[in-house]
Amino acid sequence: MEMFMHVYKYRLKKLLRTKEMIFWTLAFPILLSVFFHLAFQNLDRAEAFDPIATAVVADAAYQENSFFQEVLKEVSSGQEPLLTYREVSLEEAEALLGSGDIYGYFLAGDPIAMTVKTSGLSQNILRLFLDQVNQRFSMIKSISMVNPESMESFVKALGESVTYTIEKEKSTAPPSQILNYFYSLIAMACMYGAFFGSDEITDIEANISMRAARIQVAPVHKLKAFAASSLASYTVLLVNTSILLLFLSYVLGIDFGERAFYIVLTAFAGTLTGITFGSFISSLVKKNENIKAAVIVAVTMGGSFLAGMMYAQMKYIVYDKVPVLAYLNPVNLITDSFYSLYYFTDMGRYFQNLALLLVMTVVFGLGTYLSLRRRRYASI
């Protein structure tokens, strides 16, 4: 145990002096998060839907059409109204449309008409709305003439929408367009822990470095030395990831939801996967350190892209087109774990992601062990 702690302590000192790995696992993610924050801070505001400003000509036809009046009240109320409207004269409606204060105005009749000045998204939404109103108004008139007794039940049915999908219970957290960028950024930082894992292998490969040669002849079992060194790497990476989480949460104000324990657990699992991935790659690639670093960067950045760090919709494209790739990508599993904790009350999806991460960790760790135990050196 004393030798284990000795190796752990000196490995810790060595890692803290390795500025390159500290940069990639702490400084680089923090800098990138600041750039993300500056670039995306208004994205959610831009995605918000504002009620469409309209007017309705309050003439005799409008006063007699109680159905249209009720519809307008319905769609202009609630937490997310479709439109706002003013009851004005025809001359006032023309003036408001000309000045750009409204997108269009309604004129009651049979059918109800709408006047717009230009074409655009808001005008198209109003047209779709008016088409539905006219269709339902026409149906009400026809039924009232043929079977007046069924009017009450029919009008009630019109107000009920038929649901053809099953809605899964979700949390009360407000939706956000930018969260996935930051979640994938944390996942990238976890996977950059592969540099630590790769360095662990380098430092016990006697044919690569003088330090490794000295470790090989030291009176300590290779597996024990590797375990102590890996624990030191895991400690440093956990501290770096924790600092990143605190920075995102308290400095940039990124919302992770209310499940703090599972958020930390995800970060811990992600960093462990990153370290074992790096050690596995380093044990397989019997080339110089530049080749190993290139493989780690390529896999991590490729996984980050597929997880939506550069293009948010890519995450959903992968799930739709090549779903198996989403489950084989550790960056996506970490990202989706944060995502499911924030959006869903059901923990099934989260535990599935966590289980896959742990399976990958075991596979990487076992692969590293099997690769190393066959290494023998004729001379050092």
DSSP 57-107: E-SHHHHH-HHHHHHHHHHT-SSS-SEEEEEE-HHHHHHHHHHTS-SEEEE
CA 234 to chain centre: 25
DSSP 248: I
- Rounded to whole angstroms, what are the CA distances from 297 to 169, 189, 206, 280, 377? 37, 11, 25, 14, 30
Q: Report CA dihedral (258, 259, 264, 268) to the nearest 10 degrees.
A: -140
Per-residue pLDDT tens over the stretch 68-78: 888 898 888 87
Per-residue pLDDT tens over the stretch 15-39: 888 888 889 889 999 999 999 998 8
Which range of 75-89, 316-330, 363-377 scores highest in mean pLDDT? It is 316-330
List the alpha helices (DSSP H) in the chain. 2-16, 19-22, 28-40, 43-47, 60-64, 66-75, 90-99, 121-146, 151-158, 179-191, 194-202, 210-217, 222-246, 260-284, 289-306, 314-321, 323-328, 330-343, 348-372
CA 326 to chain centre: 13
Burial bucket for residue 86 (CB in 10 Å: 0-12, 13-18, 19+)? middle
**Pairwise CA distance, residues 286 & 373, whole Å:** 15
In the chain, CATH 3.40.190.10 sits at 50-158
**Pairwise CA distance, residues 363 & 267, whole Å:** 19
**Pairwise CA distance, residues 31 & 37, whole Å:** 10
pLDDT category at 7 given cuts 50, 70, 90 is: confident
pLDDT at site 164: 44
CATH architecture group of domain 50-158: 3-Layer(aba) Sandwich (3.40)
Per-residue pLDDT tens over the stretch 114-155: 999 888 888 888 999 999 888 887 877 776 676 666 555 555
Q: What angle do CA 206, 276, 31 make, to 5 degrees?
A: 105
Full-model pTM: 0.70
- Rounded to whole angstroms, what are the CA distances from 224 to 8, 228, 248, 309? 10, 6, 36, 38
**Pairwise CA distance, residues 252 & 244, whole Å:** 11
The total number of residues shown for the chain amounts to 380
Lowest mean pLDDT among 43-52, 132-141, 174-183, 302-311: 43-52
pLDDT at site 378: 46
CA 217 to chain centre: 48
Q: What angle do CA 59, 61, 66 make, to 5 degrees?
A: 110
